[in-house]
């Protein structure tokens, strides 16, 4: 019996690939016992993923959850900002990607990649040690941002591999020949395109050097590392070490593959798995009424991620975008341009599902009659052609898998980008921080979508975004985008990333037992 210990942060952006890997491991080998360690907030999702995995894989055993001691990644970030009375990091990374905003971001970046202080790190390492002593795993699969467990695995010389939702560029750019990370690949958060335009190369070089400088001179990380060394005799290992100083023999499984990445040389220690997607119940299984609504016609799905909130003014801009798209669809239908095939081969009248997370500034706002949003979309809302909800019961990937979605409007996060790509859906990205700008650029480089807020990021405006969404759904390049993304989806489906990662993990166990 093989025992795998999956160790991840509790935030969805990191945890989803581990939930996917657990399911894929049991699909390949029903006898694998899955142990899952993380912070408390993810416990319910682990239980849900475990139940679904057992349902799908006959003979598979339920997963065992082990809670790590101490505050989660997000909790410690928020607490530190309050104690130190600093401008919230979220407010910094959500500012426009201008020069001085970027410099402040780079100054704070080490604290984002390694937020725990010395005592918190030691506490997590000690609890992880107890979990390892209890489980005796054959291998540990570690989140690239879970520094306490990265440190423990290296210090205790545990058999482990890294699993990350990040990209080949994130781990490989610094190792490219000719110093290409300085002048060719856009610096994190810079919002430069790929390759970096000639006029922005000096700024990109300066940004990269700033990141290196702030990483090397970060006093908080140095104090944390000294505390861990003093208390445990261990050398602190962080995400930055994996990027800049990978150890010989260290295997990193990346939820990315060369065909969906900026052109680069893939270092040998990286395993390009492809998108690691979580197996989820269908929309029909979770919400039959929503499934019936989606089946009425081609749908534009607007979902901007867990952390992307809209104040009323920006929501009104988005409502105007929705109105533009619906008007364009009606004009085409009146002209007979859509024919019997509908939009993108999906029959019916175009409709919009909009997951809106409201940010209240001064007063509440809504979509009921009398609201500004209803003033723009009242007719479509009353006819149930547009649905604005604060929560969608099925997973976003399940909505995309219905085959009814003809355009995904998302925030450019790794999971959202991969969800749309693997489901064969063109996308419009509205990036607002860090690597999201890279994913918006990837969509354009690959020819599978558009950057919808290049001039207005991190916000969006109807003047800029409306024509972009209309172009992706109806424009002269819409068919080529649909064709290209379906080709990439088919390529990824031949060797699903979760299965590739699971096979690599099992191979590592077999290799060790064979020695």
- Contact, 460 vs 243, CB < 8 A? no
d(CA 34, CA 11): 19
Q: Which residue has the tokens 């430069």?
A: 192
Cα(22)–Cα(443) distance, integer angstroms: 29
Q: Which run of H or E residues covers position 338?
A: none
- DSSP H stretches of helix in 114-246: 118-135, 147-155, 168-172, 180-183, 201-217, 219-232, 239-244
Four-CA torsion 55, 59, 60, 64, nearest 10 degrees: 100
Query: Residues 6 or more apart from 281 whose CB is under 8 A from it?
Result: 52, 394, 395, 398
Burial of 368 (0-12, 13-18, 19+ CB in 10 A): exposed
Are 68 and 38 contacting, i.e. CB atoms less than 8 angstroms apart? yes
How many other C-beta atoms lie within 10 A of the C-beta of residue 193?
17
Rounded distance between C-alpha atoms, residue 265 and residue 281, angstroms: 37
Q: Which residues are registered as beta bridge partners of 160?
A: 140
- Cβ neighbourhood burial of 376 (10 Å; 0-12, 13-18, 19+): buried
Q: Hey, what are 339's tokens?
A: 């024919």
Question: What is the chain's alpha carbon radius of gyration, rounded to the nearest angstrom?
Answer: 23
Query: Is the preceding peptide bond at 41 cis, omega within 30 degrees of 0?
Result: no
Q: What is the pTM for the complete model shown?
A: 0.93
pLDDT at res. 249 = 83
Cα dist from 52 to 45, 58, 133, 323, 501, whole Å: 11, 11, 28, 39, 19
Residue range 3-85+115-172+220-277+496-514 in CATH 3.40.50.1820: no
> For residue 329, what are its two tokens?
């669809």
Q: How far apart are the first and last CA of the chain?
A: 18
Helix locations, 295-435, DSSP H = 312-335, 372-382, 396-401, 414-422
Residues 6+ apart with CB under 8 A from 493: 422
Alpha carbons 198 and 179: distance in angstroms, whole number: 16
CATH code of the domain made up of 283-493: 3.40.50.2000
Produce one character per residue of 234-256: b if its CB has 16 or more CB atoms within 10 Å, e if not.
bebbbbbbbbeebeeebbbbbbb
Alpha-carbon distance of 221 to 248, in angstroms, equals 24
Q: Which residues, listed in sequence order, are joined to residue 449 by a DSSP beta bridge?
A: 427
Q: Is 402 helix (H, G, I), strand (E, B) or coil?
A: coil
Q: Do domains 3-85+115-172+220-277+496-514 and 283-493 have the same CATH topology?
A: yes
Backbone torsions φ then ψ of 420, nearest 5 degrees = -65, -45
Structure tokens of 105?
A: 């971001």
Residue-by-residue pLDDT tens, the chain, 515 positions = 899 999 999 998 899 999 999 999 999 999 999 999 999 999 999 999 999 999 998 889 999 999 999 999 999 988 877 766 666 766 777 788 999 999 998 998 898 889 999 999 999 999 999 999 999 999 999 999 999 999 999 999 999 999 999 999 999 999 999 999 999 999 999 999 999 999 999 999 999 999 999 999 999 899 999 999 999 999 999 999 999 888 888 899 999 999 999 999 999 999 999 999 998 999 999 999 999 999 999 999 999 987 788 999 999 999 999 999 999 999 988 887 655 567 888 999 999 999 999 888 777 888 999 999 999 999 999 999 999 999 999 999 999 999 999 999 999 999 999 999 999 999 999 998 888 999 999 999 999 999 999 999 989 999 999 999 999 999 999 999 999 999 999 999 999 999 999 999 999 998 877 65
- What is the domain partition of the chain in residue ranges? 3-85+115-172+220-277+496-514, 283-493
């Amino acid at each position: 019996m093989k025992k795998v210990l999956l160790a991840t942060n509790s935030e969805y952006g990191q945890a989803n690939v581990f939930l996917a890997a657990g399911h894929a491991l049991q699909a390949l080998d029903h006898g694998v016992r899955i142990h899952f360690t993380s912070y408390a907030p993810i416990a319910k999702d682990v239980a849900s993923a475990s139940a679904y995995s057992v349902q799908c894989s006959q003979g598979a055993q339920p997963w065992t959850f082990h809670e790590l001691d101490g505050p989660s990644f997000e909790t410690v970030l928020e607490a530190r900002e309050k104690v130190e009375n600093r401008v919230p990091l979220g407010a910094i990374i959500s500012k426009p990607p201008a020069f001085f905003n970027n410099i402040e971001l780079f100054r704070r970046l080490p604290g984002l990649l390694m937020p725990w202080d010395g005592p918190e790190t030691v506490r997590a390492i000690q609890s992880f040690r107890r979990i390892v002593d209890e489980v005796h795993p054959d291998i540990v699969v570690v989140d690239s941002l879970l520094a306490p467990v990265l440190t423990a695995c290296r210090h205790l010389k545990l058999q482990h591999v890294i699993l990350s939702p990040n990209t080949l560029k994130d781990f490989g750019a610094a190792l490219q020949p000719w110093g290409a990370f300085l002048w060719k690949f856009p610096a994190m958060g810079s919002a430069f395109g790929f390759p970096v335009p000639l006029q922005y190369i000096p700024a990109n070089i300066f940004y990269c050097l700033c990141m290196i400088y702030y990483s090397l001179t970060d006093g908080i990380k140095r104090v944390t590392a000294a505390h861990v060394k003093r208390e445990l005799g261990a050398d602190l290992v962080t995400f930055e070490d994996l990027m800049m100083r990978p150890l010989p023999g260290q295997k990193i499984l990346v939820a990315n593959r060369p065909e969906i990445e900026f052109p680069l040389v893939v270092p040998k220690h990286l395993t390009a798995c492809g998108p690691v997607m979580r197996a989820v119940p269908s929309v029909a299984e979770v919400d039959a009424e929503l499934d019936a609504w989606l089946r009425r016609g081609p749908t534009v799905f607007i979902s901007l991620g867990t952390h992307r909130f809209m104040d009323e003014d920006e929501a009104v801009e988005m409502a105007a975008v929705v109105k533009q798209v619906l008007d364009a669809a009606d004009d085409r239908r009146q002209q007979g341009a859509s024919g019997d095939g509908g939009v993108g081969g999906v029959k019916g009248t175009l409709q919009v599902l909009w997951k809106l997370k409201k940010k209240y500034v001064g007063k509440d706002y809504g979509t009921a009659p009398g609201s500004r949003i209803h003033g723009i979309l009242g007719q479509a809302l009353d006819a149930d052609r547009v649905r604005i909800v604060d929560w969608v019961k099925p997973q976003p990937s399940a909505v995309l898998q219905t085959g009814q979605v003809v355009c995904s409007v998302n925030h450019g996060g790794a999971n959202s980008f991969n969800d749309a790509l693997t489901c064969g859906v063109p996308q419009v990205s509205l990036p607002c921080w860090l690597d999201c700008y890279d994913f918006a650029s990837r969509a354009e480089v690959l020819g599978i979508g558009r950057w919808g807020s290049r001039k207005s990021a991190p916000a969006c405006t109807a003047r800029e975004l409306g024509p972009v969404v209309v172009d992706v759904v109806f424009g002269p390049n819409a068919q080529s985008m649909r064709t290209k993304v379906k080709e990439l989806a088919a390529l990824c489906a031949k060797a699903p990333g979760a299965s590739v990662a699971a096979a690599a993990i099992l191979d590592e166990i077999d290799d060790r037992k064979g020695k």
